[in-house]
Amino acid sequence: MDVSTIFGSMVFNETVMQERLPKEIFKSLKQTMEEGTALDLTVANSVANAMKNWAIEKGVTHYTHWFQPMTGITAEKHDSFISPMPGGKVIMEFSGKELIKGEPDGSSFPSGGLRATCEARGYTAWDPTSYAFIKDGSLCIPTAFCSYSGDALDKKTPLLRSMEVIDKQCRRILKLFGKDIKKVTPTVGPEQEYFLIDKDLYDKRKDLMFCNRTIFGAKPPKGQELEDHYFGAIKPRVDAFMKELDEELWKLGILSKTKHNEVAPCQHEMAPIFTTTNLSADQNQLTMEIMKKVAQKHNLVCILHEKPFAGVNGSGKHNNWSLSTNTGENLLEPGNTPEDNAQFLLVLTAIIKAVDEYQDLLRLSVAFAGNDHRLGADEAPPAIISIFLGDELTAILESIMSGKPYDKKAKEVMKLGVDILPAFPKDNTDRNRTSPFAFTGNKFEFRSLGSSMSISCPNIMLNTITAEALCQFADELEKADDFNTALNALIKKTLNEHKRIIFNGDGYSQEWVEEAERRGLLNLKTTTDALPHFLDEKNIQLFLKHKVHTKAEIEARYKIQMEDYCKVLNIEVMTMLEMVKREILPAVINFTKDVADSALSVKNLLGESRAKTQIELVKTLSALTDELTNTTANLEEIIGKIKDYDDVTDCAKFYTAAVIPAMNDVRQIADKLETIVGNDYWPFPTYADLLFRI
């Protein structure tokens, strides 16, 4: 395989554009891509035609506006290029209008009340900053999805808005340092974790099929304790999957770079090379889709759920985030000159302030039912948001805050903008895996994201909150008489105000929970604790100020996410009840009957004393069967009360407080039964089968 020829072969990227577009058209499109200038229809017509011809040469017959509604996955509706001609013939057509705007009947997508069904039509609008690509014989055009009143109905629109906001505020800051920069772009590299399970075994488990996670399953004799899977040799079947995955991703221009086995058995990771945030968000959606598709070809199922198996690690997504200028400078690179150091420290300080002031937004951007199993479960970052900077950088900041020398031997106090920052070692990411938000040398790694989720929302938050802090800084510094004095004072004051968010210790420890409480940091343990903060006045004001969300959009998003939480849990409860009643109980009853029959036969033959094992087992089985029946009845009674709650917040809170504990009770008994019921009787594959058979 010649990687350099297949790479990007299915993408209408800049090289293809340059080859196929008239010079003037290419220039004008490039300006739109880089500077966001409006695209006129003649340009669009020419681009559409070139795209169509390129696609047809590759066997494509259809096009689709590819968008990201609030379901968290992608949506597409395919139209063919055909257009009727006299004489019963067709020609292949694709106009600029069709490229720029589409009108899918989006009435079944969640809108959180932003559209009444009678005016259901939303429209999709081309995002020229993300390349069109070919997937399954269709030309896919990345688009934003909005209502007719202009409200965003998707995850892309606010992400693009947040990118504009951070661009604008970063440029104001850079100007203060004498740099006239055209564009600052947030960049992201999302590391994607996933599980691979044998399809035949998967098909035998309703919980995996309906919930993407196991809701039953006793701990197998072996889990991940030997740590023999992490970075271990890749098994042939998985290797074949990974090779094909890479090939498919490369064709789509996705920079798949790293692959390895993860901590849990059957768990793996793919990390791409970072790119512009919206492209990265699009590509991550595609990656997840392609992972699932390629797995099927190998008779495997790719599970992206955050916690498919209890007792072994769940899957997350590490969102490596940074800010780059069009001149190739990374604003999170500490730099080598006093001016660059000062600029770095100002940006770093802004991020520290932003994360402290908007802990709630970062936390809620990763909140949903699946991720509740992970955060705070001692395998993923805690629900408490804090920043890890490493000891060296923290010591430098402490010296700035206190005015005391950084290096005890050198007596000088470091003067910002004059002295060069002492060298501090680049943290290697594994040094502190317990931190949700870690500085790793020239980028921040936000580690709380769930593996199945779109990365859009967390990045909307990162961009917007950082932009707000930078905006406040620029407001102050732009009117300062002496820039350096003002800069020093601002950094010192801000760090002192927000240093509580910096924590370099063990995020899994109980001491941290207590310490964080003393520091006044939020500990929003569940989705229902976190999401309501979306509606806090300070947060609404933030989004309105920067025009990232309208108030109606925030309210709609809140409602959609709360409803989603309730729906996910309802499906889990229904699956649980079905599996208990139609699979587990019948199996246990069968087994109990056979053991009881055996007890009777042995007793008749040899007397009761020789049938002790069977009799005791029947007693245990029947006691546990009663408990299973009781806990299941209790769960049914509790879920029956859901209809009493009209308000979505109350309903979600009831799920957290009452339904989840009742589910845990059922599971605990069923899992106990699994360990004593004969292998041949148990109605579905166990953890040992699922995790160790590939």
As measured in angstroms, the least distance from the Cβ of 317 to ligand ADP is: 11
As measured in angstroms, the least distance from the Cβ of 684 to ligand ADP is: 37
Helix (H) or strand (E) holding 325: strand 316-325
Residue closer to ligand ADP, measured from CB, 8 or 189? 189
The CA distance from 492 to 651, in Å, is: 45
Indicate which of ligand ADP, Mg ion, none lies near residue 192 (CB less than 5 to 8 Å, by partner kind): none
Number of residues that bind ligand ADP (CB under 6 A): 17
Site for ligand ADP in 185-204 (CB under 6 A): 187-189, 191
Question: Which residues on neighbouring strands pair with residue 271, listed in sequence order?
Answer: 258
574-577 contact pairs (CB < 8 A, 24+): 574/210, 575/206, 575/207, 575/210, 575/211, 575/215, 576/207, 576/215, 576/216, 576/635, 576/663, 576/666, 576/667, 577/632, 577/635, 577/636
Residue closer to ligand ADP, measured from CB, 254 or 367? 254
As measured in angstroms, the least distance from the Cβ of 432 to ligand ADP is: 12
As measured in angstroms, the least distance from the Cβ of 430 to ligand ADP is: 8
Indicate which of Mg ion, ligand ADP, none lies near residue 273 (CB less than 5 to 8 Å, by partner kind): ligand ADP
Site for ligand ADP in 328-367 (CB under 6 A): 330
The CA distance from 294 to 296, in Å, is: 5
As measured in angstroms, the least distance from the Cβ of 433 to ligand ADP is: 11
Cβ contacts of residue 547 below 8 Å, gap of 6+?
161, 165
Residue closer to ligand ADP, measured from CB, 444 or 558? 444
What six digits make up the tokens of 658?
């009452």
As measured in angstroms, the least distance from the Cβ of 281 to ligand ADP is: 13
Residue closer to Mg ion, measured from CB, 217 or 316? 316
Indicate which of ligand ADP, Mg ion, none lies near residue 272 (CB less than 5 to 8 Å, by partner kind): ligand ADP
Instruction: Write the binding mask 374 to 413 for ligand ADP: x where contact by CB under 6 A, - elsewhere.
Output: ----------------------------------------
In terms of residues, how long is the chain? Answer: 694
As measured in angstroms, the least distance from the Cβ of 191 to ligand ADP is: 6
As measured in angstroms, the least distance from the Cβ of 320 to ligand ADP is: 3
Residue closer to Mg ion, measured from CB, 108 or 428? 428
Indicate which of ligand ADP, Mg ion, none lies near residue 598 (CB less than 5 to 8 Å, by partner kind): none
If DSSP codes are grouped into helix, strand and coil, which group holds residue 102?
strand
Handedness of CA 497, 502, 507, 511 (dihedral sign): negative
Q: Is residue 442 a contact residue for Mg ion (CB under 5 A)?
A: no
Q: Is residue 217 a contact residue for ligand ADP (CB under 6 A)?
A: no
The CA distance from 254 to 271, in Å, is: 10
Query: Are 422 and 406 within 8 A, CB to CB?
Result: yes
Residue closer to Mg ion, measured from CB, 301 or 462? 462
Residue closer to ligand ADP, measured from CB, 146 or 188? 188
Most distant CA atoms of the chain, gap in Å: 103
Q: Which of 322, 349, 459, 592 binds ligand ADP (CB under 6 A)?
A: 322
- What DSSP designation does 677 have? S
**Residue 409 CA: distances (Å) to CA of 393, 404, 405, 414, 469:** 17, 12, 9, 13, 35
The CA distance from 454 to 47, in Å, is: 29
As measured in angstroms, the least distance from the Cβ of 425 to Mg ion is: 16
Q: Is residue 576 a contact residue for ligand ADP (CB under 6 A)?
A: no
Secondary structure of 159-210 as H, E, C letters:
HHHHHHHHHHHHHHHHHHCCCCCCCEEEEEEEEEEEEEEEHHHHCCCHHHHH
As measured in angstroms, the least distance from the Cβ of 319 to ligand ADP is: 9
Indicate which of Mg ion, ligand ADP, none lies near residue 322 (CB less than 5 to 8 Å, by partner kind): ligand ADP
The CA distance from 179 to 171, in Å, is: 8
Q: Is residue 443 a contact residue for ligand ADP (CB under 6 A)?
A: yes
**Residue 128 CA: distances (Å) to CA of 48, 132, 286, 313, 615:** 12, 8, 17, 39, 73
Q: Is residue 446 a contact residue for ligand ADP (CB under 6 A)?
A: no
Query: Are 58 and 10 within 8 A, CB to CB?
Result: yes
Instruction: Write the binding mask 82 to 101 for ligand ADP: x where contact by CB under 6 A, - elsewhere.
Output: --------------------
As measured in angstroms, the least distance from the Cβ of 454 to Mg ion is: 19
Stretch near ligand ADP under the rule CB under 6 A, chosen from 67-75, 118-126, 181-189, 543-551: 181-189
As measured in angstroms, the least distance from the Cβ of 25 to ligand ADP is: 32
Residue closer to ligand ADP, measured from CB, 45 or 283? 283
Residue closer to ligand ADP, measured from CB, 442 or 570? 442
The CA distance from 476 to 353, in Å, is: 15
Indicate which of ligand ADP, Mg ion, none lies near residue 209 (CB less than 5 to 8 Å, by partner kind): none
Q: Which residue is nearest to ligand ADP (CB)?
A: 189
Q: Is residue 274 a contact residue for ligand ADP (CB under 6 A)?
A: yes
As measured in angstroms, the least distance from the Cβ of 66 to ligand ADP is: 23
The CA distance from 153 to 106, in Å, is: 10
Cβ contacts of residue 556 below 8 Å, gap of 6+?
111, 112, 113, 114, 151
The CA distance from 199 to 693, in Å, is: 11
Number of residues that bind Mg ion (CB under 5 A): 1
Stretch near Mg ion under the rule CB under 5 A, chosen from 424-432, 582-590, 636-644, 654-662: 424-432
Query: Are 161 and 554 within 8 A, CB to CB?
Result: no
What six digits make up the tokens of 297?
């070809």
Stretch near Mg ion under the rule CB under 5 A, chosen from 95-103, 279-287, 429-437, 542-550: 429-437
Of 168, 182, 160, 161, the C-alpha closest to 471 is 168
Stretch near ligand ADP under the rule CB under 6 A, chosen from 167-175, 183-191, 376-384, 574-582: 183-191
Cβ contacts of residue 213 below 8 Å, gap of 6+?
207, 303, 305, 306, 307, 308, 309, 370, 373
The CA distance from 689 to 670, in Å, is: 17
Site for Mg ion in 497-556 (CB under 5 A): none
Indicate which of ligand ADP, Mg ion, none lies near residue 271 (CB less than 5 to 8 Å, by partner kind): ligand ADP
Indicate which of Mg ion, ligand ADP, none lies near residue 189 (CB less than 5 to 8 Å, by partner kind): ligand ADP
First to last CA, the chain: 26
Stretch near ligand ADP under the rule CB under 6 A, chosen from 150-158, 377-385, 439-447, 680-688: 439-447
Query: Are 443 and 454 within 8 A, CB to CB?
Result: no
Indicate which of ligand ADP, Mg ion, none lies near residue 188 (CB less than 5 to 8 Å, by partner kind): ligand ADP
Q: Is residue 273 a contact residue for ligand ADP (CB under 6 A)?
A: yes
Q: Which of 9, 31, 71, 429 binds Mg ion (CB under 5 A)?
A: 429
If DSSP codes are grouped into helix, strand and coil, which group holds residue 691?
helix
Residue with tokens 């010296």: 399
**Residue 83 CA: distances (Å) to CA of 95, 104, 141, 692:** 11, 19, 19, 54
Please state whether beta strands 122-126 and 444-450 pair in parallel, antiparallel, or not at all (unpaired).
unpaired
As measured in angstroms, the least distance from the Cβ of 430 to Mg ion is: 8
Residue closer to ligand ADP, measured from CB, 188 or 495? 188
As measured in angstroms, the least distance from the Cβ of 255 to ligand ADP is: 8
As measured in angstroms, the least distance from the Cβ of 449 to Mg ion is: 12
Give the binding site for Mg ion (CB under 5 A).
429
Residues that bind ligand ADP (CB under 6 A): 187-189, 191, 271-274, 320-322, 330, 428-429, 440, 442-443
